[in-house]
Amino acid sequence: MQLTSKERFYAHWIGQASWAGARIVSEQMTSYATKLLDLLLLTFSDRDGEYSDLSGVKSASAVSDEAWKAATTYAAQALSNLCNYKSFGHSKFIPRCSAGDFEAIIKASPNHAKALPLWSEVGSGLTDHYSYSAKV
C-alpha cells in the first residue's frame, strides 16, 4: 500500500520530531548524553553523515578485533538507549576496551577533527569507568 502525499508528509515530520525529542530524552538522563551521542555518530559516520567505511576505520585504528567489537557494541548500546545507562535505571554500562583503543578508533574516523574535541569533553568521564572485566 502506498502512502498518500499527506501521510508521507506526516510520517516525515513525525520522524523529525522523534529525532529532536531523542536529544531531549537523553539530556534527562545525564548532562553529557548528547555530547556522547554526537561523539559516537561522528565516529562511525563519514563527512556526509552517512555510514562510514567501518572496515577502513577499523583497519586505520589498528585496534584488535576484540577491542573493535567492544567499542562498536558499546556504541550500539549507547545509541539504542540514548545514553550509556541501561533503560531500567541507574545502571551504567561501560566499554570493554581501553580508553586508548577507543581514542584510536575516534582518530581513525573521517570526522576525527570534530569528534576529538567531544572525546576531550566526555572521554574522561567515561575513562574513569573503563575496565576490561566490566560487563556490557
Q: Quick check: is 19 in a domain?
A: yes
pTM: 0.81
Strand partners, 83: none
Answer yes or no: is 136 within a domain: no
CB 46 within 8 A of CB 113: no
Does residue 26 belong to any structural domain of this protein?
A: yes
**For residue 133, is it within any domain?**
no
**How many structural domains comprise the chain?**
1
Instruction: Read off φ and ψ for residue 115, nearest 5 degrees.
Output: -80, -35
**Helix (H, G, I), strand (E, B), or coil: what is residue 85?**
strand
Taking 60 as the threshold, does the pLDDT of residue 131 lie above it? Answer: no
Supply the range of the domain harboring residue 89: 5-127
Residue 135 lies in a domain: no
* Each residue's pLDDT tens digit, 39-90: 999 999 988 877 888 999 999 999 999 999 999 999 999 998 888 887 776 7
| Per-residue confidence (pLDDT) for residue 129, from 0 to 100 | 52
Is residue 134 a part of any domain in this protein? no
- Cell output for 125: 568521564
Start-end of H helices in the chain: 5-29, 33-43, 54-61, 65-81, 99-108, 112-127
